[in-house]
Amino acid sequence: MNQLFEPEPGGCDPTEIAPGAVLVPGWLSLEEQRRLVESCREWAGGPVPMRHPKVGRGGQMSVKMVSLGWHWLPYRYSRTADDLDGQPVPPFPEELSVLAKRGVAEAYGDQTAADEYEPDAVLINFYDEAAKMVSIRTRTKSPMPRLSRSASATPASSVLATPRTATGPGPTSS
């Protein structure tokens, strides 16, 4: 039986699951995942706290979220937590920049693209037993890839790299 988050044997082979969308199973070691979860817990502690974001029509999301680098609000990003107390958003952590660049290199097999990749925002979501997972579509003017890293109660550890679309607001467009 696999331990929680244990990579599958030989599980780092990238697989293109849709045009431009690459899944890299078994991407992080168990120890790397533990460090990442510990860091996420620290970042969630503030100074801008986790919150249940409100969406465009006033509804509240079931997931809790904290933003680093840029603060996510419906349809826009800000350097301050405008929907909370207006505090500056903590900067994008170097630790995540290193992981993101590694994810691009491993997903696309392109070290030059990874070296040029400059991530500047992360949304950390916490799903408790009441939260609902829904499909989302992010639009941004940036040609840089969007990385999604999931840590859940399933025996999977993966990174999904997808190209960003060419329209709409996003952190790298401001």
Average pLDDT for 12-32: 82
- Judged against a pLDDT cut of 90, whether residue 128 lies above it is answered with no
Q: Residue 78's pLDDT is what?
A: 93
pLDDT tens digits for range 77-93: 899 998 888 999 999 99
DSSP for 30-70, written as a single string: HHHHHHHHHHHHHHHTSSS--B--B-TTS-B-SSEEEEESS
C-alpha separations of 49 from 2, 26, 61, 173 in Å: 34, 30, 15, 25
The pTM of this model reads: 0.71
pLDDT for the residue numbered 144 = 52
* Averaged confidence pLDDT in the chain: 75
In the chain, what percentage of residues exceed pLDDT 70?
Answer: 69
Q: Is the pLDDT of residue 61 over 90?
A: no
| Residue 12, pLDDT score | 64
Domains of the chain, CATH where assigned: 15-173 (2.60.120.590)
